Structure 1
């Protein structure tokens, strides 16, 4: 049975008669193809990437598994529509904290039409994209079974958050105290277990960075890093299953032998933020 995802934090959502993604009970995510060239471009990327034997397996694990395309009943009731079939990144997770981070100081490609470039350029300038090389597109942070999730409005995410505000949110992602206001002081109780360690977020980001320092096959525009962890597991002294995945590939173009400096620059900026949080004198045990 198909249903609207419970833990989608960005993008179009299939609620209230709108077109958006659906999930099933077997771990698959059905993303409607955009009606214009973006839909076919995203299918082309997944097809190319999944069959590219030059991509190392340790890099492919940072991308959702691609199962092809299928006609299914759209969430908006418009009938049978083509959908990408992908790995459901929240499947099997209990109350995941999720952050969608759009990477790159420029989210438009040189091949885009002028009106689209101007639309993206306006958003890039008004958000932190131009200044920091990335911006927060959406998030939810699990606090407790009693209070549930902190999930700020999408509009507040697209506004120009300062570097300090973004740093505070990245700290809240690994904290035990409530996240109700941007001005609250996070305790960073799980920074070492979520961001640190050989399998933590920072290690994964650095592994991805090493590939982007060499790969010249693809240029990724308006692509996001989806950061996920389960703080309930950390509260019980277990591995929080911290993980990153790249998502949204409607604007991927041939690299033509040139390094993707736009994505690499944003990735390095995010790494700097996470590294600084780890180096601070944060609480290492839940209060």
Structure 2
């Protein structure tokens, strides 16, 4: 179990970055970025590295034991994301290290920290020292019945350096990405009536078109009994804060990056207050009574609510006031939709007593994840901004129905 300071962990991360860069410049094959015990995994058993197990509530991305790289859960409750092959893994580690540098003084990066899972450096098992993992906060840790959705944001899911073959491959996966600006990669929704989870994978997200997208997203906020408008309202506010950050920054462009939505599905509406998401001893027990929804079921139930019409995804949001160059967003949201109507909503939020001005969203988290394709820039990230505004428009219409 790791018990080292953040400074030491960042230092370890930097050293690891240097070591991997040296190896990759000589021979990339010398960096083992996949599980070494593949035979054990193929036999169907779960390889355990120092008590680590495959992340049980993962809804999208590379899965341990299925893909060459994957995600584990550490006994202390943190998440271990296996480093991807160079240059993607190195790029993501460098990004986390830059944002969470202990003596960071950049207001833009300091503000960004609250939208990311906390970074605790790198981790590796003594048995497989060449398999490096990013050690991250488990955003779902404080939830009793976490409902989770992974949404890829942006008009392009390939970076500027992608080959023509890669570009065509990504466009073919979801041709509507440029127009819609986001893609649902996976969902896990707690159903109060059956005390189980419904899960939807990336194929479900790719099946959503303009006419079915609103209902497809609304499904995430329906617990089998009612539409959780409180979770929608809080999610809108959280996404709005992330949008404000993007409208005020010109340091990075993000490609193939996602937003991770989490809300409390427990009928009591209470989260595990003692499980704050920081490194703690013990492991959160997650309800794994999951029902995978078949492709046939995926297409059903999408006609019960109003559809999004063509063009509904583009809208303009108010500009955020600035204070000393740092954008700050209050709890009041105002959106200008294509039909000319102005919509406002006040989220179920409260100010943190210890940090005035910092909004606390009870029972809801929205965090940015997946940074293997983040690049320096000197201009605003218009593609990501477009995706956020498009998603906000859809969420607002679900809330208003």
1:285 corresponds to: none
Aligned counterparts of 1:202 and 1:36: Cα–Cα separation in 2:
35
Q: How does 1:245-256 map to 2 (within 5 A)?
A: 245-256=367-378
Contact 1:105 1:124 in 2 (8 A): no
2:251 maps to 1:201: no
Q: Deviations over 1:29-74 (max 9, x none)?
A: 1111112210111111111122343236554211011111122279
Give aligned pairs, total. Answer: 258
Runs in 1 of length 4+ with deviation above 6 angstroms? none
2:58 corresponds to: 8
Contact 1:106 1:124 in 2 (8 A): no
2:197 maps to 1:149: yes
The alignment's TM-score, normalised by the length of structure 1, stands at 0.82
Contact 2:185 2:201 in 1 (8 A): no
Point out the more displaced range, 13-22 or 128-137: 13-22
Contact 2:122 2:132 in 1 (8 A): yes
Q: Deviations over 1:5-42 (max 9, x none)?
A: 11100011113686311012322111111122101111
Q: How far apart are residue 146 of structure 1 and its match?
A: 3.0
RMSD of Structure 2 on Structure 1 (CA): 2.2
Distance 1:237 1:50, change over 3 A: closer
2:216 maps to 1:169: yes
Q: How far apart are residue 130 of structure 1 and its match?
A: 2.2
1:236 corresponds to: 268
In the alignment, structure 2 segments of 5+ residues that lack a partner are 1-50, 272-361
In the alignment, structure 1 segments of 5+ residues that lack a partner are 179-186, 281-287
The alignment's TM-score, normalised by the length of structure 2, stands at 0.60
Q: How does 1:252-271 map to 2 (within 5 A)?
A: 252-256=374-378, 258-271=379-392
In our comparison, the structure showing a higher alpha carbon Rg is: 2
Aligned counterparts of 1:236 and 1:242: Cα–Cα separation in 2:
14
1:68 corresponds to: 121
3-state secondary structure, aligned to 2:155: coil
Distance 1:177 1:210, change over 3 A: same
2:73 corresponds to: 23
Contact 1:107 1:124 in 2 (8 A): no
Aligned counterparts of 1:170 and 1:153: Cα–Cα separation in 2:
13
Aligned counterparts of 2:235 and 2:189: Cα–Cα separation in 1:
16
